Amino acid sequence: MQDNKEDEVRLQVFLAHGGVASRRASEKIISDGRVTVNGIVVTELGTKVSARDEVCVDGKKITAEDTKRYVLLNKPAGYVCSSNDEKDRSVAVDLLKEKYSERLYNVGRLDMFSQGLIIFTNDGDFAAKLSHPSSELEKEYVVESSQPLPRTLCEEFERGLRVDGIFYRCKSARELNARKVKIVLVEGKNREIRNVFAAKEVGIKKLTRVRIGNVEMNGLKTGEFRDLSEKEVTGLLKLCKK
């Protein structure tokens, strides 16, 4: 690591700018001992590096990417949101590899059985702002149940309820019909909707994310993807509280 500190950045920031993962995910990659700087394994998160240093993840050299990508995918069910999967399941980012040569990673997640909108990027700052819990960025879902919905479900979810010691509360919930509901989340805890429905003994037939902030489906078919417009990217950042 170089003595000239003018252009140094923290290692996790360098990895995020290189399209490896978000800053938070990059911190785990560093802590797991998967990163070397100039041939030396580095696990300290405060380590500073510059473009003159040789940074590798799992032996592969990482360089900062000049072109920033912001890609919207309508994820099909059956794909996991991960850079790779130890169980050899289908990975959502693989759907993008034919068009994009940059290393892209997902901003937030959709579980394997859910479908709908998810954003991929190689811009670490963008990902960090959208992913931070304080951003309060709205995500809208349409949920189809396998049986009629309890009449009080929407009201309880809006008011807030505790499941296995975890408090869940949506921003809004509105019944579309007896077996379909539209839910807006701003925090999005892990499997929040599924856990609430399971607690009410309601089976989910289909769970689809149809909006992220100002970005909507707008005819994007399952499995299709497109670049976000500059207006959409700017709008997403403006919607973030921090």
Within 8 A by CB and 6+ apart from 204, the residues are 143, 144, 145, 146, 193, 194, 197
| Active-site residue flag, 125 | no
Full 3-state SS string of 219-230: CCCCCCEEECCH
Which DSSP state fits 87?
T
**Do 217 and 140 touch, CB atoms closer than 8 A?**
no
| Residue 172: its H or E element | strand 172-177
The one catalytic residue in 53, 85, 111, 125 is 111
Q: What count of Cα atoms within 13 Å lies in the side-chain half-sphere of residue 21?
A: 18
Which tokens hold the place of 17?
A: 């700018």
Alpha helices in 23-121 (DSSP H): 23-31
Number of residues assigned to the chain = 242
Closest of 209, 141, 147, 140 to residue 178, by C-alpha = 147
Phi and psi, residue 187, nearest 5°: -100, -50
Q: Greatest CA separation found in the chain?
A: 66
> Residue 111, exposed/middle/buried by CB under 10 A (0-12, 13-18, 19+)?
middle
Within 8 A by CB and 6+ apart from 6, the residues are none
Residues catalogued as catalytic: 111
